[in-house]
A and B are shown apart, each in its own frame.
Chain A
């Protein structure tokens, strides 16, 4: 219920904000030389002549019937646009997540188990770099190395299985940096716990103790962060999608904002909000699966 209220709030807020910002879609669609009668006809045809609250109500009513409407510019049904763009964004997000986990887990573990060593400083230094380097710089840098110097990957676009590697690394490294720091601090807390000392006393090797006992216990706070990060990724990695000409949800939304394509912006924001809600829900469910102490049916 609270998720639904949140969703309604986001939809309404975006609806009113996008209508408040200056710029008229009719101008962008028809240009300035169009006849006044035509402008009015189009305005009426699109329902933009109605009072804002009425437009909002009409929009919600249509939405309740799963009718997202049509793009004001291309005239295409918005559902078609979303169906094209969402899998593309999902693909990139999944790969970025994979890259982030592959980088973050070993870095975080090494930094925690060898605290204050050169490995720790090296890992955290890398993490700091990852957080600090903006995607609009990291993207072209990776293109230069991976595509131009080594020739292993295409510069941009979606053609071929390896086209996702560079954008996934661009997104994944920033995410890995945050995750690695989180894994390190979480693991440091766990490493001092009694159950781990007991496991070691029973003769378990340090590697097994860490990966079988410590890491699963350290993963809960990481999971929260991962959920938020994944929500952000699915919501559209706008800069990365622009740099790599990756036709995902973020790029669609930016183009729609520039063109004042109200229905597309609203639909894209709705998708992003729903993504956040579902990812958070999924994270909560994962908690229970990872930690048997959490019982959603008997919270007490």
Chain B
């Protein structure tokens, strides 16, 4: 009897913590993080933004060169402060079959602008003074002042007005008109979406450990993973016959940031010396596995304001030593810098390499690694000499004002290094007040040259995006900003063969 009780307890325990499995036909996508918020009004992390793109449709999207392009609607600039958006037909529908309307757009933006909502995006849209819906398919946005990047700033998912009114918990149960529907969320590590066009289920699974994520791909338990793997694992997996690797140039900008109020790195000559001391080509080749390209500016050359004319700082240790000498340092009086970074093992490894390269030209570096909250807090409050970070998903040039204008020191902006340069301020203002795109382009290119000269950041590289997938699936395409739009077309390799065979049979 006692044995039976123990056996029953054992069996109950064995099965009680299990969660349900999805059908075999589900395409499984391994992620390092799950989305923190599926409500586009609140989402700020990259994973949430990428998944929300699948669940919600938006008025405006971005082309490959990051120019804003129509998504749900086209727009006309009726006056510098009056934008009219008109829906492109046919319009998508919400899960209950209702068509997205101007009222939904209005309700979404009114909700974001409502201080009670405490949306992190309110600051970006603070320029909107009024939203009017002249018809069911037209929305007018009135601005308080000229904003040439306005169209790009409203690329936010649209929610149904009736559910906004009823305080629907979108963060947990998203309801949108995007190409995917929320299916269910068995636990915090799994999110299942259904593709509208063919009911294909896609499961997004959080697997925090990169080694385990790789092993799961090898075992066929997930079918694809994108980015967030150490380069050596990428090379190892790419060599497996059951897997294939796809790469694409990315736009995420890695850089070294400096505190411009610091007596050492506040000196232009020291920053120049650092820029010459770092052998970026070598790091890209040996550490990043060639999956990056050197950066000279915030935006890559393929961005609409990007330029390939910037010369940058070639690796030149002799020049670095000479610049340090000019700055008043010599082998007996070496500058000592504190380099702050996160606890991410790969970022730490990069930090030690940069430490070594700077050491070779006569700069002592002490690496301080902190958990993300502490690191980010220190960067924001200016408690650093030098740090490394990356800008992810930059699209519109308004980042220049936020990151480099002298008035944008936190909390007013993200000028964390307290960089102040009147020429930069002037160029930012001129570019923003120029309605003509060609002139704007020229001014922003001049600004980027100025930034490369004055070095508020030492640009490092743009990391490539990659996807590793099993040969069971095909049709996944990578995008420059690393979004997950490839899930729109991914399909089973056998199914696609069947489809193509059927298509061939049907074609005379």
Binding site for B on A (CB under 8 A): 21-24, 27-39, 41-42, 45, 73-76, 81, 84-85, 87-88, 90-92, 94-95, 98, 139-140, 143-144, 147-148, 151, 154-161, 163-164, 242-245, 247, 251-252, 257-260
19 chain-A/chain-B pairs, Cβ below 8 angstroms: A21-B373, A23-B377, A27-B380, A29-B120, A35-B122, A35-B126, A36-B412, A38-B115, A38-B119, A73-B37, A75-B42, A84-B188, A155-B219, A160-B21, A161-B15, A245-B207, A257-B373, A258-B371, A260-B373
Give the chain B neighbours of A156 by CB distance below 8 A: 207, 212, 216, 221
Query: Once bound together, how far apart are the Cα atoms of A75 and B38, in whole Å?
Result: 11
- The answer to whether B37 and A41 have CB atoms under 8 Å apart is no
A260 to B376, CA, bound (A): 11
Query: B507 near A: Cβ within 8 Å?
Result: no
Judge whether B215 is part of the interface by a CB distance below 8 angstroms.
yes
- A32 close to B374 (CB less than 8 A): no
Answer yes or no: B133 CB below 8 A from chain A CBs. Answer: no
Closest Cβ neighbor of B209 among chain A residues: A243
Cβ A38 vs Cβ B37 within 8 A = no
Q: Is B187 an interface residue (CB 8 A)?
A: yes
B123 at the interface (CB under 8 A from A): yes
- Asked if A245 and B208 make an inter-chain contact with CB atoms under 8 angstroms apart, the answer reads yes
B:174-214 near A, CB below 8 Å? 187-190, 205-209, 211-212
Residues of B within 8 A of A140 (CB): 209, 211-212, 215
B411 with A32: CB separation less than 8 A: yes
Which residue in A33, A139, A151 is a CB contact (below 8 Å) of B124? Answer: A33
CB of A245 within 8 A of CB of B17, answer: no
Q: Which residues of B contact A157 (CB under 8 A)?
A: 189-190, 205, 207, 221
Also in contact, A74 and B37, with CB within 8 A (given A32-B414, A143-B212): yes
Verify A31–B44 contact, CB threshold 8 A.
Answer: yes
A27, B376: Cβ atoms under 8 Å? Answer: yes
Task: Please determine whether B373 and A76 come into contact, CB atoms closer than 8 angstroms.
Answer: no
Does B146 lie at the interface of the complex (its beta carbon under 8 Å from any beta carbon of A)?
Answer: no
B155 close to chain A: CB less than 8 A: no
- B4 interface hit (Cβ, 8 Å): no
Q: Which of A30, A75, A91, A155 makes the CB contact (< 8 A) with B120?
A: A30
Specify which chain A residues have a CB less than 8 angstroms from the CB of B42 in the assembled complex.
75
Q: Other CB < 8 Å A-B pairs besides A41-B115, A76-B172, A259-B373, 20 of them?
A: A21-B373, A23-B377, A24-B377, A29-B44, A30-B120, A34-B123, A73-B36, A74-B172, A87-B16, A98-B13, A148-B215, A156-B207, A156-B216, A157-B207, A159-B19, A163-B18, A242-B208, A245-B189, A245-B212, A257-B371
- 6 shortest interchain CB distances as A-B pairs: A91-B17, A23-B373, A23-B377, A22-B377, A30-B120, A35-B123
| Residue from A85, A98, A156, A247 with most neighbouring chain B CB atoms (10 Å) | A156
B335 contacts the other chain (CB 8 A): no
B377 with A84: CB separation less than 8 A? no
Does B413 lie within 8 Å of A33, measured CB to CB?
A: yes
Give the complex CA separation of A74 and B37 in angstroms.
6
User: Which residues does chain B contribute within 8 Å of A84, judged by CB atoms?
Assistant: 187-188
B37, B119, B188, B215: most-surrounded residue (chain A CB, <10 A):
B188
Contacts A32-B380, A84-B188, A144-B215 given; indicate if A75 touches B171 (C-beta within 8 A).
yes
- Nearest B residue to A245 by beta-carbon distance? B207
A94 near B13 with CB under 8 A, answer: yes
Instruction: Report the Cα distance A151→B218, complex, angstroms.
Output: 11
- Which of A35, A91, A154 is B221 in contact with, Cβ under 8 Å? A154
Which residue in chain B gives the minimum CB-CB distance to A88? B17
Q: Which residues of A contact B373 (CB under 8 A)?
A: 21-23, 28, 257-260
Q: Which residues of A contact B189 (CB under 8 A)?
A: 157-158, 245, 247
The answer to whether A258 touches B380, judged by C-beta atoms less than 8 angstroms apart, is no
Q: Which residues of chain B have a CB within 8 Å of any CB of chain A?
A: 10, 13-21, 36-37, 42, 44, 115, 118-120, 122-124, 126, 169, 171-172, 187-190, 205-209, 211-212, 215-216, 218-219, 221, 370-374, 376-378, 380, 402, 410-414
Residue of A nearest to B170 (CB): A75
B209 touches A23 (CB 8 A): no
Distance between Cα atoms of A164 and B16 in the complex (Å) = 10
Residues from chain B with a CB closer than 8 A to the CB of A257 are 371, 373
Select one of A23, A30, A161, A259 contacting B14, CB under 8 A: A161
Which residues of B sit under 8 angstroms from A259, Cβ to Cβ?
Answer: 36, 373
* A24 to B: closest C-beta gap in Å: 6
| Inter-chain contacts of B414 with A (CB < 8 A) | 32-33
> Per a CB cutoff under 8 Å, which of B122, B206, B219, B370 touches A38?
B122
Name the B residues within 8 Å of A88 (CB-CB): 17, 187
Complex CA distance for A117 and B309, rounded to whole angstroms: 77
Across the interface, which residues of A come within 8 angstroms of B380, CB to CB?
A: 24, 27, 32
CB-contact partner of A42 in B19, B118, B123, under 8 A: B118
Chain A residue contacts of B169, Cβ below 8 A: 75
Q: Tell me whether A143 and B21 are in contact (CB under 8 A).
A: no
How far is it, in angstroms, between the C-alpha of A87 and the C-alpha of B187 when the chains are bound?
12
B216 nearest CB neighbor, chain A only? A155
Residue in B188, B377, B412 whose CB lies within 8 Å of A27: B377
Q: Are B413 and A21 in contact (CB under 8 A)?
A: no
A23:B374 contact, CB within 8 angstroms: yes
- Chain A residues with CB under 8 Å of B115's CB are 37-38, 41
Distance of A101 from chain B, by nearest CB (Å): 11
Considering the complex, give the chain A residue whose CB is closest to the CB of B221: A155
Contacts of B412 in A (CB 8 A): 36
- The residues of B that contact A244 with a CB separation of less than 8 Å are 212
Please name all residues of chain B whose beta carbon is closer than 8 Å to the beta carbon of A28 when the two chains form the complex. Answer: 373, 376
CB-CB < 8 A to B211: which residues of A? Answer: 140
Q: Are A147 and B413 in contact (CB under 8 A)?
A: no
CA distance A247 to B408 in the complex (A): 40
A25 to B209, CA, bound (A): 25
Complex Cα gap A175–B123 (Å): 52
A32-B411, A258-B373 known; A159+B212 contact, CB < 8 A: no
Within the complex, the shortest CB–CB distance from B179 to chain A, in Å, comes to 24
Name the distance in Å between B210's Cβ and chain A's nearest Cβ. 11
B370 CB to nearest A CB, Å = 8
List the A side residues contacting B370 at CB < 8 Å. Answer: 22
Q: Which among B36, B119, B370, B372 has the highest number of chain A CB atoms within 10 Å?
A: B36
Bound state CA distance, A245 and B221, in angstroms? 13
Task: Return chain B residues, CB-CB under 8 Å to A91.
Answer: 13, 16-17
CA–CA, A39 and B212, complex, Å: 38
